[in-house]
Amino acid sequence: MMSVLVLAGMIGAGKSTYTKMISNKLGTQAFYESVDYNPILDKFYDDPKKWAFSLQIYFLNARFRSIKDALVDDNNVLDRSIYEDALFTHVNHLQGNISIEEMDIYNDLLDNMMEELEGIPKKAPDLLIYLDGPFEIILERIQERGRDFEQIKDNPDLLAYYRLLYDNYEAWYEGYNHSAKIKISIADYDILNSEDDQDRVMEVIQKAVAEARFENMAQA
């Protein structure tokens, strides 16, 4: 069954790991958020007030291109998407990294992009998969993957940013209405080391996709 699935969740929640696993299981193409080739990301962590707006515009452009390609192809898994970009921009605004004028410019651009997506025959993903878990596990995973610019040691401002982002994710998920959605607790599964857990996760995802497709057909 061809479908477009998008992952969502905190930095360090495991979106790329889940994307790889789902893509391999379904035989679909994976779209990954580029970190190594992002010219702004490390600059943002060094000076968020200077680089937050530029970073969000960079991400918005990259994710718009990815979701548009994915919706046209209709056989993909994305490890992050345009739909949660506004959350990161909102949190940066709350922290004083993005001005109200920059927020207005960003939101106007996002609205224009969402209108363009409405013109694509497949207007939205089949399913959004939100990876949720305790804040402590998120911090552990950020530390384990070892990107220097993401580490909170001796950086209370970065910890505060992570906490604020984490605290706003649930409300974002509850308000998401572009497609069917499910929440997966990352504390309940070890997909890196357990094929049984991989199969359990895939069963949940495939059931949710089938239910979403059935509901869409009923409404057509």
Q: What are the catalytic residues?
A: 79
Phi, psi of 170 (to 5 degrees): -65, -45
**Contacts of 95 by beta carbon, 8 Å cutoff, 6+ apart:** 48, 160, 161, 164
13 sits in the region (left: phi over 0; alpha: psi -120 to 50; else beta) called alpha
Other beta carbons less than 10 A from residue 96's beta carbon? 10
Rounded Cα distance between 116 and 64, Å, is 10
